[in-house]
Amino acid sequence: MDNSAPDSLPRSETAVTYESPYPLYAMSFSSSSSTTHRIAVGSFLEDYNNRIDILSFDPDSMSVKPLPSLSFDHPYPPTKLMFSPPSLRRDLLASSGDFLRLWEITDSPSSEPLSVLNNSKTSEFCAPLTSFDWNDVEPKRLGTCSIDTTCTIWDVERSVVETQLIAHDKEVHDIAWGEARVFASVSADGSVRIFDLRDKEHSTIIYESPQPDTPLLRLAWNKQDLRYMATILMDSNKVVILDIRSPTMPVAELERHQGSVNAIGWAPQSCKHICSGGDDAQALIWELPTVAGPNGIDPMSVYSAGSEINQLQWSSSLPDWIGIAFANKMQLLRV
Amino acid sequence: MQVTNSKNLAIQFVSSLILHKIMDEETMVMGQNITSVPENLKKQLAVSIRSIQWSYAIFWSVSASQPGVLEWGEGYYNGDIKTRKTIQASEIKADQLGLRRSEQLRELFESLSIAESSSTGTAVGSQVTRRASAAALSPEDLADTEWYYLVCMSFVFKIGEGMPGRTFANDEPIWLCNAGTADSKVFGRSLLAKSASVNTVICFPFLGGVVEIGTTEHIAEDMNVIQCVKKSFLEAPASHATISQQRSDYHIDNVLDPQHILGDEIYAPMFGNRPFQATSPSRTTNGFDPEHDQLAEDHDSFMAEGINSQVQSWQHMDDELSNCVHQSLNSSDCVSQTFAEAGARRVSCGARKGRVQRLGHFQEQHKNVKMLSFDPRNDDVHYQSVISTIFKTSHQLILGPQFRNCDKRSSFTRWKKPSSSSSFGTASVVPPSQGMLKKIIFEVPRVHQKEKLMLDSPGVGDETANHAVLEKKRREKLNERFLILRSIIPSINKSDKVSILDDTIGYLQELEKRVQELESCRESTDTETRGTTTMKRKKPYDAGERTSANCTNNEIGYGKRTHVGQAEPTETSLTDNLRISPFGNEVVIEMRCVWREGVLLEIMDVISNLNLDSHSVQSSTGDGLLCLTVSCKHKGSKIATPGMIKEALKKVAWIC
**Three-state DSSP string of chain A:** CCCCCCCCCCCHHHCEEEECCCCEEEEEECCCCCCCEEEEEEECCCCCEEEEEEEEEECCCCEEEECHHHCEEEECCCCEEEECCCCCCCCEEEEECCCEEEEECCCCCCCEEEEEECCCCCCCCCCCEEEEEECCCCCCEEEEEECCCEEEEEECCCCEEEEEEECCCCCEEEEEEEECCEEEEEECCCEEEEEECCEEEEEEEEEECCCCCCCEEEEEECCCCCCEEEEEECCCCCEEEEECCCCCCEEEEECCCCCCEEEEEECCCCCCEEEEEECCCEEEEEECCCCCCCCCCCCCEEEECCCCEEEEECCCCCCCEEEEEECCEEEEEEC
Q: Given CB atoms, is A97 within the 8 Å cutoff of chain B?
A: yes
pLDDT at position A112, please? Answer: 63
Q: Do A258 and B451 touch (CB under 8 A)?
A: no
Contact A279 B448 (CB under 8 A): no
Report the range of poorest mean pLDDT among A48-57, B295-304, B635-644: B295-304
Report yes or no: A266 at the B interface, CB cutoff 8 Å.
no
Higher-pLDDT residue of B656, B446: B446
A20-34, A259-273, B214-228, B252-266: segment of lowest average pLDDT:
B252-266
Q: Please give, rounded to a whole number of angstroms, the shortest distance from the CA of B222 to a CA of chain A.
A: 45
CA-to-CA dists, residue A250 to A185, A286, B567, angstroms? 16, 16, 82
- Side-chain half-sphere CA neighbours of A327 within 13 A: 11
Q: B457 contacts in A (CB within 8 Å)?
A: none
Residue B616's Cβ-count burial label (10 Å; 0-12, 13-18, 19+) is middle
The nearest alpha carbon in chain B to A271 belongs to B397
Cis (ω within 30 of 0) for the bond into A109? yes
* Rounded mean pLDDT, B625-642: 83
pLDDT at B39: 58
Tell me which H or E stretch contains B205. strand B200-206
- Could A76 and B440 be called an inter-chain contact, meaning their C-beta atoms sit closer than 8 Å? no
* Separation CA A57–CA A36 (nearest Å): 6
- Minimal Cβ distance to B445: which of A147, A270, A320: A147
CB contact under 8 Å between B437 and A217, yes or no, is: yes
Smallest CA–CA distance, residue B456 to chain A, in Å, is 9
In the CATH scheme, what is the homologous superfamily, with its name and number, of domain B578-654?
A: ACT domain (3.30.70.260)
Tell me, what's the pLDDT at B54? 86
User: Does A256 touch chain B if contact means CB atoms closer than 8 Å?
Assistant: yes
Per-residue pLDDT of chain A (335 residues; tens, 9 = 90+): 444 433 333 445 678 899 999 999 999 998 866 567 889 999 999 888 899 998 988 888 888 888 888 888 888 889 999 998 888 777 788 998 888 888 887 655 555 666 666 554 443 446 788 999 999 899 889 999 999 899 999 988 888 888 888 999 999 999 999 989 999 999 999 999 999 999 888 889 999 999 888 999 999 999 999 999 999 999 999 999 999 998 888 999 999 999 999 999 999 988 899 999 999 999 999 999 888 778 888 898 999 998 999 999 999 888 889 999 999 899 999 88
* Cα–Cα separations (whole angstroms), residue B578 to A22, A261, B629: 89, 85, 10
A324 touches B: beta carbon within 8 Å = no
User: In residues, how long is chain B?
Assistant: 656
The answer on pLDDT for B250 being more than 50 is no
Q: Return the pLDDT at B380.
A: 61
Q: Which residue would you say has higher pLDDT here, B529 or B97? A: B97
- Higher pLDDT: B43 or A205? It is A205
Domains of chain A: 28-257 (2.130.10.10)
Sign of the alpha-carbon dihedral angle for B365, B367, B372, B375: positive
Q: What does pLDDT average to over chain B?
A: 65
pLDDT score for A309: 94
- A211, exposed or middle or buried, with CB in 10 Å at 0-12, 13-18, 19+? exposed
Residue B274 pLDDT > 60: no
CB-nearest to B433 from A270, A279, A310 is A279
A261 to chain B: closest CA residue: B434
Nearest CA in chain B to A273: B397
* B435 neighbourhood in chain A, CB within 8 Å: 279, 308
What are residue A186's phi and psi, to 5 degrees?
-120, 155
Local confidence band at B61 (pLDDT 50, 70, 90 cut-offs): confident
How far does the CA of residue B389 sit from the closest CA of chain A (Å)?
Answer: 16
Q: Are B88 and B269 in contact (CB under 8 A)?
A: yes
Tell which A residues from 217 to 246 touch B, by Cβ distance under 8 Å: 217-218, 234-235, 237
CA atoms within 13 A on the CB side of B551: 19
Interface A:B, Cβ pairs < 8 A: 164
Chain B residues close to A127, C-beta within 8 Å: 445, 449
Choice between B550 and A72, residue whose per-residue pLDDT is larger = A72
Tell me the chain B residues in contact with residue A125 when contact means C-beta distances shorter than 8 Å.
452, 456
Distance from CA of B587 to the nearest CA of A (A): 57
SS3 B581: strand
Q: How confident is the model at residue B73 (pLDDT cuts 50, 70, 90)?
A: confident
**pLDDT value at position B516?**
92
- Subunit contact B413:A258, Cβ cutoff 8 A: no
How many percent of chain B have pLDDT more than 90? 1
Nearest to B434 among A129, A262, A334 (CB): A262
What global pTM score does this model have?
0.46
What was the pLDDT predicted at B136?
Answer: 67
Q: Cβ contacts (< 8 Å) between B400 and chain A: which residues?
A: 300
Name the band, by pLDDT with cuts 50, 70 and 90, for residue B395: low
* Residue B312 contacts A, CB cutoff 8 Å: no
Rounded CA-CA distance A221/B353 in Å is: 26
Distance from CA of A79 to the nearest CA of B (A): 6
Task: Give the pLDDT band (50/70/90) at residue B320.
Answer: very low
Q: Which of A34, A33, A25 is nearest to A53 (CA)?
A: A25
Residues 177-216 of A with CB under 8 A from B: none
Question: Cβ of B548 under 8 Å from any chain A Cβ?
Answer: no
d(CA A151, CA A167): 6
Question: Residue A290: its pLDDT value, please?
Answer: 82
A253 burial type by CB count under 10 A (0-12 exposed, 13-18 middle, 19+ buried) = middle
Cβ-defined contact of B435 to A258 (cutoff 8 Å): no
Q: Give how far B483 is from chain A: nearest CA, Å.
A: 39
Residue in B322, B398, B412 closest to A302 by CB: B412
CA distances to B474, B486, B487, B603 from B480, rounded to whole Å, are: 10, 10, 11, 22
Chain A interface test: which of B321, B411, B467 (most A C-beta within 10 Å) = B411
What does the domain layout of chain B look like in residue ranges?
A: 1-19+36-83+94-115+136-235, 489-519, 578-654
Distance from CA of B431 to the nearest CA of A (A): 9
Kindly give the residue spans of alpha helices, DSSP state H, lying in B31-85.
41-52
Judge whether A116 is closer than 8 Å to chain B, CB to CB.
Answer: no
Q: Average pLDDT in the B320-335 region?
A: 40
* Helix, strand, coil percentages, rounded to 5, for chain B: 55, 10, 35
Q: What proportion of chain B, given as a percentage, has pLDDT over 70?
A: 49
3-state secondary structure of B214: strand
Q: Are A151 and A144 in contact (CB under 8 A)?
A: yes
**Residue bearing the bigger pLDDT, A107 or B62:** B62
Integer Cα distance of B286 and A189 in angstroms: 79
Closest among B96, B165, B614 to B373, alpha carbons compared: B165
pLDDT of residue B385: 62
Is the CB of B436 less than 8 angstroms away from the CB of A262?
Answer: yes
With beta carbons under 8 A apart, name residues in chain A contacting B455. 124
What integer is the mean pLDDT of B153-181?
85
Chain B residues in contact with A263 by the CB 8 A cut-off are 437
Mean of pLDDT values over B497-520: 89
Mean pLDDT of B431-439: 83
Residue B440 forms contact with A (CB below 8 Å)? yes
- A33 in contact with B, Cβ within 8 Å: no
- Quickly state the pLDDT bin for B557 (edges 50, 70, 90): very low
Q: Which CATH number is B1-19+36-83+94-115+136-235 given? A: 3.30.450.40
Q: Per the CB < 8 Å rule, is B440 touching A130?
A: yes
Residue B204 to residue B59: CA distance in whole angstroms? 10
CB contact under 8 A, B436 and A44: yes
The pLDDT value recorded for residue B400 is: 57
Residue among B547, B485, B563 nearest B511 (CA): B547
**Dihedral in degrees, nearest 10, Cα atoms A28, A32, A34, A40:** -20
Q: With bands split at pLDDT 50, 70 and 90, how would you rate the model's confidence at B153?
A: confident
CB pair distance less than 8 Å for A302 and B413:
yes
